[in-house]
């Protein structure tokens, strides 16, 4: 016979645990989900505990902010283990997004433009944002339309893999625009699983559980 989860003793272990379980739950009534996410309705806390004990599982509060709080009947020890496994996989698969910059002069020639645009494409395909700037010297700043034309060429050349994240704007003697990878156009390295909610409160509870 399985024993309900007994939390580790001591202040250090206690602060690490993210959920109230079993007798720690103080709400008189709770909204209960079974281990598959099927709603069992709003039950008195004692009744929910009785069902959890009968199934040799734990009553775990997964959405304390809901009214009433949402609890799930699960094997908490197994839940914690699987959650830690998910977090490790997520950290491993995460790609760090950084801001890359390419700079042009007002009179940039075609060769230099193409060279820097190719680099910008590589950055975007790797999932990074790209800021393109045109630097004006002296009286060139009076003809910022030349920079606007150049940056529009840049935007158009990368339209298949990007979208405008911040429109063109002047910053001193620099005219800049920021592009971000277009998720619909740049293939993702790994698809994220989708979860379907079962009603407003249940969906909120599942999202809270997933985020933790």
How confident is the model at residue 141, as a pLDDT?
83
Q: Which tokens is 148 given?
A: 């606007």
Asked whether the beta carbons of 130 and 102 are under 8 A apart, the reply is yes
The full set of domain ranges for the chain reads 11-92, 99-181
Asked whether the beta carbons of 51 and 17 are under 8 A apart, the reply is no
What CATH architecture does domain 99-181 belong to?
A: 2-Layer Sandwich (3.30)
11-92 has which fold? Ubiquitin-like (UB roll) (3.10.20)
Confidence check: pLDDT of 115 > 90:
yes
pLDDT tens sequence across 155-187: 999 999 999 999 999 988 999 999 999 865 555
Token pair 């230099």 is at which residue? 112
Rounded to whole angstroms, the Cα distance separating 206 from 66 reads 12
SS (H, E, C) the chain: CCCCCCCCCCHHHHHHCCCCEHHHCCCCEEEEECCCCCEEEEEEHHHHHHHHHHCCCEEEEEECCCCCCEEEEECHHHHHHHHHHHHHHHHHHCCCCCEEEEEEECCCCHHHHHHHHHHHHHHHHCCCEEEEEEECCHHHHHHHHHHHHHHHHHHHHCCCCEEEEEEEEEECCEEEEEEEECCCCCCCCCCCCCCCCCCHHHHHHHHHHHHC
**Backbone CA torsion sign across 7, 9, 13, 17:** positive
Residue scoring higher pLDDT (90 or 141) = 141
Name the least confident of 22-31, 78-87, 167-176. 78-87
Model pTM score: 0.45
What size, in residues, is the chain?
212
Rounded to whole angstroms, the Cα distance separating 109 from 22 reads 70
How confident is the model at residue 69, as a pLDDT?
94
Q: What band does 11 get if pLDDT is binned at 50, 70 and 90?
A: very low
| C-alpha closest to that of 45 among 56, 60, 57 | 60
């Amino acid at each position: 016979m399985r024993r309900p989860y007994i939390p580790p003793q001591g202040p250090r272990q206690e602060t690490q645990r993210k959920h109230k379980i079993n007798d720690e739950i103080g709400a008189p009534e709770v909204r209960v989900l079974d281990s598959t996410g099927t709603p069992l309705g709003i039950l008195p806390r004692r009744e929910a505990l009785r069902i959890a004990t009968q199934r040799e599982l734990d009553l775990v509060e997964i959405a304390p902010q809901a009214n009433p709080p949402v609890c799930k009947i699960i094997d908490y020890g197994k839940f914690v283990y699987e959650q830690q496994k998910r977090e490790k996989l997520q950290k491993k698969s995460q790609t760090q997004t950084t801001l890359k910059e390419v700079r042009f002069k007002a009179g940039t020639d075609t060769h230099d433009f193409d060279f820097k645009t190719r680099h910008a494409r590589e950055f975007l395909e790797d999932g990074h944002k790209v800021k393109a700037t045109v630097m004006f010297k002296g009286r060139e700043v009076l003809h910022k339309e030349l920079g606007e034309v150049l940056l529009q060429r840049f935007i158009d050349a990368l339209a298949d893999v990007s979208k405008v994240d911040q429109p063109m704007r002047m910053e001193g003697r620099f005219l800049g625009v920021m592009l971000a990878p277009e998720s619909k156009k740049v293939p993702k390295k790994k698809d994220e699983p989708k979860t379907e909610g079962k009603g407003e409160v249940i969906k909120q509870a599942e999202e809270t559980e997933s985020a933790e």
